[in-house]
Amino acid sequence: MVTKQFQNITLSRLGMGNMRLPILPGGKDGDIDYEKAGQIIDYAMENGINYFDSAYVYHSGQSERFVGQALRRYPRDSYYITTKYNVRANPDYRETFAQQLERYGVDHIDFYLIHALGDNNIDDYLHNGCIPFFQQMKREGKISYFGFSSHASPEVLARFADAEKWDFAQIQLNYFDWNYGTAKQEYEILAERNIPVMVMESVRGGRLAKLTDEAESLLRQAHPDWSIPSWAFRWLKRLPMVQVALSGMSNLEQIQDNVATFADDRALTDEEEALLFRACALFHDQVRVPCTGCRYCCDTCPAGINIPEVLKVYNSFKLEGAWALNGLKNVEGGMPWDCVGCGACTQQCPQNIGVPQLMEEMAKAAGK
């Protein structure tokens, strides 16, 4: 396992995320399968991973308790635990912090984060008194390093980054969001301020573990022996401010593959990065529907479906997974399962989009 110095300690470059642990058959999110998940933690410890990420809300509040128990068999100074304060989940930061120490069964948290900074909660975090409280906990030795995780816009991220002296920050960073999101700007904001970056969503919740056939074949031709997810991590190794790349590993195969990727520091070359970005563009174009939002189709739909808005949800669904179908709740008018397959929309569509098939696909995925 390759490591990297962080202040006066050494961290593994691969970190274990604990929000996608195996759960018991038929169980809910909080029903972690302690045996299976414990095997993953043991494999992590045996293979040099020493950074374990969690949060107050992960697995309905059960993640911290599980991680604390799984790591208790190892010396406390052989691993680093993280957790986060989430103002929406429980605004009472004192109570949250006390609960977290109890759940983990420890007297200090190594890496503590303000959780999921966003454009709509920055003022809560800046003005509710939590930051001075956590700084006090740091002075008392109950927190070793203080940082934040962000899903905010680059402007808000910059504002928050300048509000305090942060030890580190955690952002969503992967080659897809570098090309099609704001990850590059976010990384540069942190790099300019010399704030080490912990990476979340290295493989975008698993979405970058399986690309389209064409995109994958480009990568496999170049390196038949590399797994598809390993490209994401090897790309991250190019970025000098990246401290730890987190992966929410749900089974032994995933952790074995990731540990193999971090057996050395070999990053992608410039040529390999260009190839990866070509594969990424192919993947992006193949999964997305190229609706321009012109609305030529809308007046003709007998089901009253707001087709361009529904197609935006379709694109999220293809990139993020079935949970993104929740976005349909925010769309007024008919739903995909109201489509009668008349094809009037496609006749009007300058992009020649096969709308009825997409509606059917969404309806099926939604169980309608």
CA dist 234 and 271 (Å) reads 13
Which has the closest alpha carbon to 354: 342, 367, 368, 365? 342
CA–CA dist 92, 304 (Å, integer): 45
Terminal C-alpha separation, the chain: 47
Q: Which of 294, 322, 354, 364 binds ligand SF4 (CB under 6 A)?
A: 294
305 forms part of the interface with ligand SF4 (CB under 6 A)? yes
Rounded distance, CA 308 to CA 324, Å? 16
Question: Which tokens hold the place of 151?
Answer: 């899903």
Q: Which of 286, 341, 354, 364 binds ligand SF4 (CB under 6 A)?
A: 341
Strands 3-6 and 9-12: antiparallel
Q: Please tell me the distance from the alpha carbon of residue 338 to that of residue 350, in angstroms, as a whole number.
A: 23
347: contact with ligand SF4 by CB under 6 A: no
355 touches ligand SF4 (CB under 6 A)? yes
Instruction: Tell me the closest approach of the beta carbon of residue 282 to ligand SF4, in angstroms.
Output: 21
Closest contact distance (angstroms) between CB of 312 and ligand SF4 is: 10
Q: Give the Cβ contact number of residue 226 at 10 Å.
A: 16
Among 43, 133, 296, 337, binds ligand SF4 (CB under 6 A): 296
Exposure string over 118-143, b if 16+ CB within 10 A, otherwise e: beebbeebbeeebbeebeebbeeebb
Residues 140-169 that bind ligand SF4 (CB under 6 A): none
Closest to ligand SF4 by CB, 272 vs 309, is: 309
- The CB-of-355 to ligand SF4 minimum distance in angstroms stands at 5
Q: Work out whether 337 is an interface residue with ligand SF4 (CB under 6 A).
A: no
Contact region with ligand SF4 (CB under 6 A), list: 243-251, 278-286, 324-332, 352-360: 352-360
Comparing CB distances to ligand SF4, the nearer of 129 and 302 is 302
- Residues in CB range of 338: below 8 A, 6 or more apart: 303, 304, 305
Q: Is there binding between residue 297 and ligand SF4 (CB under 6 A)?
A: yes
CA proximity to 59, closest of 29, 88, 25, 93? 29
Query: Which of 4, 72, 295, 364: binder of ligand SF4 (CB under 6 A)?
Result: 295
- Residue 362 as a binder of ligand SF4 (CB under 6 A): the answer is no
Stretch that binds ligand SF4, among 241-249, 278-286, 296-304, 320-328 (CB under 6 A): 296-304
Site size for ligand SF4 (CB under 6 A): 29
Identified binder of ligand SF4 from the candidate list 292, 326, 357, 364, rule CB under 6 A: 292
Regarding 340 and contact with ligand SF4 (CB under 6 A), the answer is yes
Report residue 281 as tokens: 């563009």
Convert residues 242-281 into a mask of x (bound to ligand SF4 by CB under 6 A) and - (unbound): ----------------------------------------
Q: Residues 6 or more apart from 65 whose CB is under 8 A from it? A: 103, 104
**DSSP 3-state assignment of 247?**
strand
Q: Distance (Å, rounded) from C-alpha 2 to C-alpha 5?
A: 10
C-beta separation of 182 from 154 below 8 A: yes
Q: Is 313 in the site for ligand SF4 (CB under 6 A)?
A: no
Question: Shortest gap between Cβ of 9 and ligand SF4 (angstroms)?
Answer: 52
Please report, as ranges, the residues that interact with ligand SF4 according to CB under 6 A: 291-297, 300-303, 305, 307-308, 311, 339-345, 348-349, 351, 353, 355-356, 359
